[in-house]
Amino acid sequence: MNTLRILVLEDHAFQRTAAVSALNSLGYKNIFQAADGKDALAVISQAGGVDVALCDLSMAGMDGLTFLRLAREAGLIRAVIICSSLPEDLLRTVDRIVTLQGLELLGSVGKPLMVDVLGPLLARYRPHTPGDAKVVESHLDQPSENEVLEAIRRQEFRAYFQPKFHLRSGEVDGAEVLVRWQSPSRGLLSPGMFLPTIERCGLLDEMFFSLLTQGLSLQRFVQSHGKPFKLAFNLDVTQMANPNLVDRIKALLRIHGASPAGLIFELTETGLLQMPEISMENMVRLRMLGFSLAIDDFGVGYSSLERLCQMPFNEIKLDAGFVQNFHQARYSAVIHGALALARELDMRVVAEGIETADQVQHLARLGCQWGQGFFYARPMNWAHLVDWRFEGQKSSWRRAIGTSDR
């Protein structure tokens, strides 16, 4: 017998009975029932919480959205399956709300609930064991300012490179430079574990110039073998307000004998809303020197079109959320629109977060030329990138888009 604790929240008695019957046939016996949100809160509070809630949305009294918010705040549910006949556009928004609430979304289904649909969704649930929680808590400990300062002194922040490639030919023309912390005590840490401390301590510039130095050294090595290799670096909008930023970048390029034409600086769209005058001046200076500027995570902010008109960007980084939801008509329409807009503005588009062959094919059909993502290459350190053999990856890539190797 499956020990998963499941709540069925459904105001229609027949639909509620059908859901319970389907769960019983799948071997689930710890089932709690309620007809509205208020009753559901009382039931699961008395039970000490549940693992999964099968939740209707439109109900008299407290609706499903209010129930989910209150139940999550009280720590009474962990995962959700939305059971609703609402239109697809509303369900997409509800899915986003559930994710923002910190709940695990197992899926959305229509009515009546079918066993062959419900079973696979419930199979996605992963119980939280005490051991798992301990690991998560240990990794969530933010490093102190002293730890970060010492890491900078010891040069423990390492550049990792994720290649950008042509969607049809597999040609690689460069990489985005990302950061990892190789900590002697904590292991290899992703940015989410230390960037808040870096930002709080005002150390973004120190980390950026460390990455720029590492990247320029790699670029010089690759180009010494006759291969052009553009590098893209992330800049926080606050860094653009530094009046010495451009001069420091120019000085470092002179040391490495590098050309501005080989560098791209990416700025996240959501940070552009309140950009001071000096920041815009620096953007213009960078473009006048020959650097490229990319607007990152395009489509998730609030002023994309306005910023494209006002700011001197010449590349768009299409947010991974659009790529991963390309099969939904609205997302596909946004991708198509962004590509058409970029063509009119003479801007290059790079699609982020490509993970499947279907995504490659769809993007290529729409006319997108460049992309990056786990389907082709994960971020890697200098040594792995140098040893990386593109030939095998290209073969896989060309099979995915239906072309042959040359």
Nearest to 98 by CA among 52, 139, 130: 52
Selection from 344, 351, 347, 345 nearest residue 368 by Cα: 351
Both structure tokens of 311: 């700011």
Q: How far is CA 226 from CA 167, 180, 222, 223, in A?
A: 22, 28, 7, 5
Does 228 sit behind a cis peptide bond, omega within 30 degrees of 0 on the bond before it? no
**pLDDT value at 405 more than 50:** no
- Joined together, the tokens standing for residue 244 give 């010495």
Residues 289 and 261: their CA atoms lie apart, in Å, by 8
In whole angstroms, what is the distance from residue 180 CA to residue 187 CA?
10
**What's the rounded mean pLDDT across residues 303-323?**
81
Per the prediction, the chain carries an average pLDDT of: 84
Provide the annotated active-site residues: 352
Question: Would you give the distance in Å from CA 126 to the centre of its chain?
Answer: 21
E strand segments, 40-125:
52-55, 79-83, 104-109
- Tokens representing 188 are 């290899």
Residue ranges of alpha helices (H) inside 106-235 are 115-123, 130-140, 145-153, 195-200, 204-223
pLDDT in tens, 324-344: 888 888 888 989 998 998 999
Q: Report whether 262 contacts 231 (CB < 8 A).
A: yes
Q: Which residue has the higher pLDDT, 383 or 231?
A: 231
Q: What is the mean pLDDT of the segment spanning 389-394?
A: 44
pTM for the whole thing?
0.68
Percent above pLDDT 90 for the chain: 42
| For helices 329-344 and 357-366, angle between their N-to-C axes, nearest 10 degrees | 50
Burial class of residue 134, CB neighbours in 10 A (0-12, 13-18, 19+): exposed
Q: Residue 36 — φ and ψ, nearest 5°?
A: -150, 170
Distance from the Cα of residue 98 to its chain's centroid? 17
What's the pLDDT tens digit per position in 38-76? 999 999 999 999 999 999 988 888 888 889 999 988 899
3.40.50.12780, 3.30.1950.10, 3.20.20.450, 3.40.50.150: CATH of 139-401: 3.20.20.450
In this predicted structure, what is the pLDDT of residue 135?
30
Tokens 């470092």: give the residue.
252
| Closest by CA position to 7, among listed 73, 83, 60 | 83
pLDDT tens digit sequence for 9-42: 998 899 899 889 989 999 999 999 999 999 999 9
Strands 230-235 and 187-189: unpaired
How would residue 403 be classed by pLDDT, with cut points 50, 70 and 90?
A: very low
Lowest mean pLDDT among 3-17, 233-247, 268-282, 315-329: 268-282
C-alpha span between 116 and 265 (Å, rounded):
48
Query: How do beta strands 157-166 and 172-183 pair?
Result: antiparallel
d(CA 247, CA 8): 62
CB 243 within 8 A of CB 274: no
Report pLDDT digits (tens) over 76-96.
999 999 988 877 767 777 887
CATH number belonging to domain 6-127: 3.40.50.2300
Angle subtended by helix axes 145-153 and 204-223, to nearest 10: 30
Q: So where are the chain's domains? A: 6-127, 139-401
pLDDT of residue 185: 84
Q: Where are the alpha helices (H) located in 159-203, listed in sequence order?
A: 195-200
What gap in Å lies between CA 264 and CA 281, rounded to an integer?
Answer: 17
User: In the sheet where 104-109 sits, what is the strand order?
Assistant: 31-34, 6-9, 52-55, 79-83, 104-109
Rounded to an integer, what distance in angstroms lies between the CA atom of residue 33 and that of residue 50? 11
- Helix %, strand %, coil % for the chain, to 5? 50, 20, 30
Half-sphere CA count of 116, side-chain side, radius 13 A? 0
